[in-house]
């Protein structure tokens, strides 16, 4: 079968997209003269102040190199001896980090069923039954993901309920925000939505993603509960997340946060996912899956269509037991990319 030329930007992952030109320019501007290493520079101090302004209060921000490292650093700072982490069975820390929390932190992940990727407050009560039992790892930290691996969202009330329940049992709360920008953009409240979602709810520490939304190897760990950050600066180097030339990460985030670029780029990715879902629905009907909340679509495809479609324009399978796949859009996805992909889909389904 003769298919049209594949789209310039595929739908495998927002992680596959390049860095935004504004970010490349920010790196180039920072690349003049000498600056002291390990964050003792004007770029990093400016970046830290930008995070204070973003969250509407003083926070402790530690820049990191990648998402797994940011999660390990955040969780390690929030854990005490012999404590475990409660998370969704679908969480990235459980499925896609090669056991990094277990190996690096020596902690145990306690997974709870979550068909749509979201952890329930009841799971916290269940885990809390082990508190005080000397033979069991003590649940000390709850980790949630916003947006989830299934593209679902916790409402502000959901997060508040989880934080309230966790804190009532003496646990802390970590939020894996690799795609937090997409979640905040979906809420449609601007930066106020972030503060409502994270600060007002009681989240203690979060991983603030950048790489999946146009940055170049740049993540941040933000401590809302600054007491947890007391020794985190030492842990950051132990878990290999202390960048020597930190000014280049800091310059990216300063540009990213300025003029709400982080929201503008995420909003575009979300909008392209909605467009992709709409156009694909004309071809697949209900098999295209639910309307996206953020920048991911989860269609059900028979192998006879999925395999040649993937060979033509690559994307990942998601749940092989149910023939579910994942299409993701990014800051650089265009309407032409969407239309061309759906042309190929239509040709194969015909």
What is the pLDDT, as a whole number, of residue 258? 98
Mean pLDDT within 260-280: 98
* 1, pLDDT greater than 80: no
Q: Provide the CATH topology of domain 262-349.
A: 3.90.1150
CA of residue 211 relative to chain centroid, distance? 9
Query: What does each C-alpha distance from 318 to 108, 291, 298 come to in angstroms?
Result: 25, 17, 8
Note whether 21-259 and 262-349 share their fold. Answer: no
**What number of CA atoms fall less than 13 Å from residue 37's CA on the CB side?**
4
End-to-end CA distance of the chain: 11
Q: Are 112 and 126 a contacting pair, CB within 8 Å?
A: yes
> Tens digits of per-residue pLDDT, 14-31?
999 999 999 999 999 999
Residue corresponding to tokens 């020596």: 106
What is the pLDDT, as a whole number, of residue 6? 96
Coil, helix or strand at residue 5: coil
Residue corresponding to tokens 């889909």: 345
Write b or e for each residue in 4-43: b if 16 or more Cβ atoms lie within 10 A of its Cβ, otherwise e: eebbebbbbbbeebebbeebeebbeebeeeebeeebebeb
Mean pLDDT within 95-102: 96
Q: Which two tokens mark 187?
A: 């809420």
Q: Give the domain ranges of the chain.
A: 21-259, 262-349
Give the C-alpha separation, 14 to 188, whole Å. 20
Q: Which two tokens mark 32?
A: 């003049």
Instruction: State the pTM of this model.
Output: 0.97
> Tens digits of per-residue pLDDT, 319-341?
989 999 999 999 999 999 999 99
Instruction: List alpha helices for the chain, DSSP H.
Output: 21-30, 42-55, 67-78, 92-95, 100, 121-128, 156-168, 180-187, 191-194, 232-238, 247-257, 261-284, 303-312, 335-349
Rounded to the nearest 10 degrees, the angle between the axes of helix 247-257 and helix 21-30 is 140
What is the pLDDT, as a whole number, of residue 20? 98
* 284, pLDDT greater than 80: yes
Query: What does each C-alpha distance from 25 to 20, 213, 259 come to in angstroms?
Result: 9, 16, 15
Of the candidates 268, 277, 282, 312, the one whose C-alpha atom is nearest the C-alpha of residue 298 is: 277
Query: What does each C-alpha distance from 130 to 86, 88, 120, 134 come to in angstroms?
Result: 12, 18, 17, 8
Give the C-alpha separation, 35 to 43, whole Å. 9
Residues in the chain: 350
What is the pLDDT, as a whole number, of residue 2? 81
- Could you tell me which residues come within 8 angstroms of residue 31 by beta carbon, excluding any fewer than 6 positions away? 248
Give the C-alpha separation, 169 to 190, whole Å. 32
Whole-number mean pLDDT of the chain? 97
3.40.350.10, 3.40.50.1370, 3.40.640.10, 3.20.20.210: CATH of 21-259: 3.40.640.10
More confident residue, 1 or 342: 342
* 78, pLDDT greater than 90: yes
Give the DSSP H or E segment for 169. none
What is the pLDDT, as a whole number, of residue 350? 87
φ, ψ of residue 347 in degrees (nearest 5):
-60, -40
> Tens digits of per-residue pLDDT, 220-263?
999 999 999 999 999 999 999 999 999 999 999 999 999 999 99
Mean pLDDT within 284-292: 98
């Amino acid at each position: 079968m003769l298919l049209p030329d594949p789209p310039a930007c595929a739908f495998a992952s927002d992680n596959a997209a390049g860095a935004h030109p504004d970010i490349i320019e920010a790196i180039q501007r920072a690349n003049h003269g000498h600056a002291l290493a390990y964050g003792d520079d004007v770029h990093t101090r400016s970046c830290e102040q930008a995070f204070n302004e973003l969250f509407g209060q003083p926070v402790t921000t530690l820049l990191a190199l990648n998402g797994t490292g940011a999660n390990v650093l955040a969780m390690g700072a929030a854990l005490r001896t012999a404590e475990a982490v409660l998370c969704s069975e679908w969480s990235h820390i459980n499925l896609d980090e090669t056991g990094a929390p277990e190996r690096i932190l020596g902690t145990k992940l306690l997974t709870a069923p979550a068909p749509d990727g979201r952890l329930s407050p009841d799971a916290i009560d269940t885990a809390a039954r082990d508190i005080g039992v000397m033979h069991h790892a003590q649940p000390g930290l709850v980790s949630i993901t916003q947006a989830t691996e299934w593209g679902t969202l916790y409402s502000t009330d959901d997060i508040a309920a989880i934080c309230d329940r966790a804190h009532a049992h003496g646990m802390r709360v970590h939020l894996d925000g690799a795609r937090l920008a997409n979640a905040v953009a979906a809420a449609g409240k601007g930066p106020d939505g972030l503060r409502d979602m994270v600060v007002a709810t009681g989240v203690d520490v979060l991983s603030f993603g950048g790489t999946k939304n146009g940055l170049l190897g740049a993540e941040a760990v933000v401590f809302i509960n600054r007491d947890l950050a007391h020794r985190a600066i030492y842990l950051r180097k132990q878990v290999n997340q202390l960048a020597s030339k930190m000014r280049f990460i800091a310059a990216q985030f300063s540009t990213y946060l300025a003029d709400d670029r982080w929201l503008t780029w995420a909003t575009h990715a979300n909008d392209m996912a909605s467009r992709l879902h709409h156009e694909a629905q004309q071809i697949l009907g209900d098999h295209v899956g639910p309307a996206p909340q953020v920048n991911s679509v989860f269609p059900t495809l028979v192998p006879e269509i999925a395999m040649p479609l993937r060979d033509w324009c690559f994307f990942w399978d998601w749940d092989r037991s149910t023939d579910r796949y994942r299409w993701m859009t990014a800051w650089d996805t265009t309407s032409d990319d969407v239309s061309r992909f759906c042309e190929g889909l239509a040709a194969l389904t015909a």
